[in-house]
Structure 1
Amino acid sequence: MDATAIVELLGAPETRADPYPLYEQAHRLGPVARVSDMLVLVTGYAAVDRVLRDRDFGVIDRELTATMYGDSPEPPSLELFGRSILQTNLPAHTRMRAPIAAVFTPRRIAAMRPAVERAVDRLLDDLAEAGRGGEPVDFMDRFAFPLPVGVICELLGVPEADRHRFRGSAHDLMTAIEFMTVERDLTAADRAAVELQGYFEELVARRRAHPSADLVGALVARRDADPDGGITDAELIANLVLLLVAGFETTTNLLGNGLALLFGHDGARTALTEGTLPPGDFVEEVLRYDSPVQLTSRIALRDGLEIEGVAVPRFGEVLLLIGAANRDPVRFPEPQRFDPWRAEIAPLSFGAGIHYCVGAMLARLEATVAFPRLLARFPALAQAPGAVRDDRLLLRGYGELPVAVGG
């Protein structure tokens, strides 16, 4: 199978269900393979890592979009992402990310641990009540979604009464960045973009009228203190939406993927329960083995670039298969084996370089708190029939994961 066939199959239903057999075939082509004059496929760990860190490779930002495709109006969902750090290159990326990073600090995240522990315990109480009598309970609906949405909303300052409304909107909005978006109907994504943008416009207005110490309040204060050189109102809104949807979509999938793996790996489950396996090591191997983010792309920003000897012309696209890089046999012995005792796991699931996920530390905190407490509370926890994978490739996770909590 050549690189062109592999890229074509990335959008197939069987690949969305299980992309890893296709990744194995892609590795046989080497770490980098040419698909066409303007498209290169990258699957090797070192090569993906290098491109993510190389500032000569950027994202398709609004300026590049206008240069390459003309300055025509974009759908609301794509326009919203285009104003965020997700789809912005230097120097605008640094200008926008700086105020976010200044309030989204390691110290602030570490201080949230007691709050995350309390949130986990409340949700475990809810799981116990819902599963009383042996009835199956959907882990995704009862735990994997409400934990990260509650945590990120608490950090942002979103009122508790509003939090239930975001799961559907976030899921719909994220379809706008799915692989092969041009072939998808963006109606639901555009509707979600308008709804979420409107919500945060109102929240920002409330924080201006009544300042607060939460993340939205802090960002509004920084924005108003530097109205000319900092982040604009439109960029502030776009990045708040991004923090919300990315802040729980990825973590929700991490929790679901991790629990599904525990059901099939008794050794890891026992070691995690007994405390002989550090939760952080388990989480890193989940991120490597079944990454919540499977791919991304970059554009060559100048002439004369190459990756592992493969030339990439200016404006050439580089498709980076993160899920494949995390299973690169050159980097990971027996990459198809789930092994949380690996040395130096270092998955690329949160990216690298200037676009490294700003919420990575928070996602890891939530997962490392959640899994040991879940197993301690429900030692007989078992998978029930009816698990359903989301029909997506870029963001890989479960739509439903029924469990029986046991006695």
Structure 2
Amino acid sequence: MDPRAAFEALGTTEGRQDPYPYYDAIRAHGDLVPVKKGSLVAVGYRECTRVLREPALQVQDGTAFDRVYPEWRSHSSVCAFTDSMLYSNPPKHTRQRGTVNADFTPQQVARMRPVIEDMTTRLLDRIADLGADGSPVNLMDEFASRLPIAVVSAMLGFDADRQVWFRDIASAIAVSTDGFTDPAALATADAAMDELADHFGDVITRKRGCPAADIVSALVRLHDSDPAKLSHDELIGNMMLLLTAGFETTAFLIGNGALMAIDNPRYAALLRTQQPFAAAYVEEVLRFEPPVHVTSRWAAADVTMFDQHIPAGSRVVVLLAAGNRDPRRYPDPNRFDPGRANSQPLSFGGGVHFCLGAALARLEAQTALPMLARRFPQITLADTATYRDRWVIRGLRTLPVTTGRAVTASRR
């Protein structure tokens, strides 16, 4: 298949449901492949890694949007992402990320383990009740998405009684990361962002009057003390980013990990009985079926890599999920194998934009998946799992299961 045709197919329903054959079709033409004038696609592990770490290749910020989507300012969801650290480059990115870096160090995140364990136990209790009569339970709705939104809400200091609302609205906003290809979905994302911004305004007012030991209280204090360090739009944008990024990708990681364990009883047994196995298992889930499939970079200056001249203004699409299945890096890459050594998947990106919440996502999955396997040793699929019709952030829409006999939860 022509590489341009393969790349464009990734934007179709068929491509979004199973993108891997199209990744391989592009790879057949090389590992850093021009697909049209001014656009290249990286599918090799080495090439993706280099692009992510090259200072001359930057994320799509407002200036880049001006070149390709001049109407972007009319979309509040896109504006919010552009005001956040996600779509910012140094020094703006460095300044914004510095406001929350300390809250996401591995040491700080490790303190969340008891909270994650408690929240997981409560959700498993709910699932046991829902499935006690043999009724199917959608693990995506009742577990994989509820746990991350509960954890990030606790860290940010958001209302616990609005977690399902946060989940649904964050999911709607995240569609805007797929770009401008679906006007109807983008309009829904804009409406959701407007509603969330109104709510955030109320949250900010409450935090000013009654600050607490949470991330949003700290951000509000910083903004009020020195708006040059964090403007109002940046405050809203980063609150939105921390909510959406801390929820959906981790939900998909947990959902994918649960599905693979249900499909492979041997791995479920190891999750139940061997504590160290969870870390290796989660790393292989991240490699084999990552929540984030693609990111992109724009050339701020001419750059040459791997004998390819990339002129200023060019776009390089980084297919993280393709790099994770590069046969030069991973023998038998299309086989799920938690025993792989030194895996180091690309799933959290790289360079200055390496995912801020990587340690938290890993901890949630490494905690939740063994607890799920122990609580429901007889869990089986009740029907076929289905994927959402999305590509950039790709994951399960439904994971219907019957729980079987539940093991009584141990209480501390």
Tell me the residue number matched to 2:248: 249
Give yes or no for contact 1:271–1:277 (8 Å, CA) kept in 2: no
Amino acid at match of 1:96: Q
Tell me the residue number matched to 1:104: 104
Identity of aligned residues (%): 40
**Structure 1 190/276 Cα, relative in aligned 2: closer, same or farther at 3 Å?**
closer
How far the C-alpha of 1:8 sits from its partner, in A, is 1.1
How far the C-alpha of 1:395 sits from its partner, in A, is 1.1
TM-score (norm 2): 0.95
How far the C-alpha of 1:69 sits from its partner, in A, is 5.7
How far the C-alpha of 1:145 sits from its partner, in A, is 1.0
Structure 2: distance between partners of 1:349 and 1:70? 30
Tell me the residue number matched to 1:46: 46
How far the C-alpha of 1:73 sits from its partner, in A, is 3.4
Tell me the residue number matched to 1:283: 282
Structure 2 residue runs of 5 or longer lacking an equivalent are 406-412
How far the C-alpha of 1:218 sits from its partner, in A, is 1.5
How far the C-alpha of 1:34 sits from its partner, in A, is 0.8
**Secondary structure of residue in 2 paired with 1:99:** coil
Amino acid at match of 1:258: G
Q: Provide the aligned length of Structure 1 versus Structure 2.
A: 404
Amino acid at match of 2:22: L
How far the C-alpha of 1:105 sits from its partner, in A, is 3.2
**Secondary structure of residue in 1 paired with 2:317:** strand
Tell me the residue number matched to 2:352: 354
**Structure 1 27/71 Cα, relative in aligned 2: closer, same or farther at 3 Å?**
closer
Tell me the residue number matched to 1:377: 375
How far the C-alpha of 1:306 sits from its partner, in A, is 2.2
Kindly report which structure 2 residues correspond to 1:216-227, keeping only aligned pairs within 5 A, or say none: 216-227=216-227
What are the superposed Cα offsets for residues 50-69 of structure 1, whole Å, 9 maximum, x if unpaired?
Answer: 11111110112113333666
Tell me the residue number matched to 2:304: 306
What are the superposed Cα offsets for residues 85-119 of structure 1, whole Å, 9 maximum, x if unpaired?
Answer: 11111111001110111333333211110010000
**Structure 1 63/132 Cα, relative in aligned 2: closer, same or farther at 3 Å?**
same
Amino acid at match of 1:138: N
Kindly report which structure 2 residues correspond to 1:174-323, keeping only aligned pairs within 5 A, or say none: 174-178=174-178, 181-185=180-184, 186-228=186-228, 230-275=229-274, 278-303=277-302, 305-323=303-321
**Structure 1 291/278 Cα, relative in aligned 2: closer, same or farther at 3 Å?**
same
Give yes or no for contact 1:40–1:318 (8 Å, CA) kept in 2: yes
Moved segments of 4+, more than 4 Å: 67-72
Give yes or no for contact 2:323–2:346 (8 Å, CA) kept in 1: yes
Amino acid at match of 2:288: Y
Tell me the residue number matched to 2:80: 80
Structure 2: distance between partners of 1:95 and 1:199? 25
Give yes or no for contact 2:387–2:396 (8 Å, CA) kept in 1: yes
What are the superposed Cα offsets for residues 203-225 of structure 1, whole Å, 9 maximum, x if unpaired?
Answer: 11211111111111122223333
Which of 395, 403, 406 pairs up with 2:401? Answer: 403
Give yes or no for contact 1:136–1:403 (8 Å, CA) kept in 2: yes
**Secondary structure of residue in 2 paired with 1:296:** strand
Tell me the residue number matched to 1:131: 131
Structure 2: distance between partners of 1:97 and 1:300? 22
**Structure 1 9/219 Cα, relative in aligned 2: closer, same or farther at 3 Å?**
same
Kindly report which structure 2 residues correspond to 1:2-81, keeping only aligned pairs within 5 A, or say none: 2-66=2-66, 73-81=73-81
Structure 1: distance between partners of 2:388 and 2:114? 31
TM-score (norm 1): 0.96
Structure 2: distance between partners of 1:336 and 1:226? 50
Amino acid at match of 1:346: Q
Amino acid at match of 1:65: F
Give yes or no for contact 1:61–1:88 (8 Å, CA) kept in 2: yes
**Structure 1 182/392 Cα, relative in aligned 2: closer, same or farther at 3 Å?**
closer
**Structure 1 129/42 Cα, relative in aligned 2: closer, same or farther at 3 Å?**
same
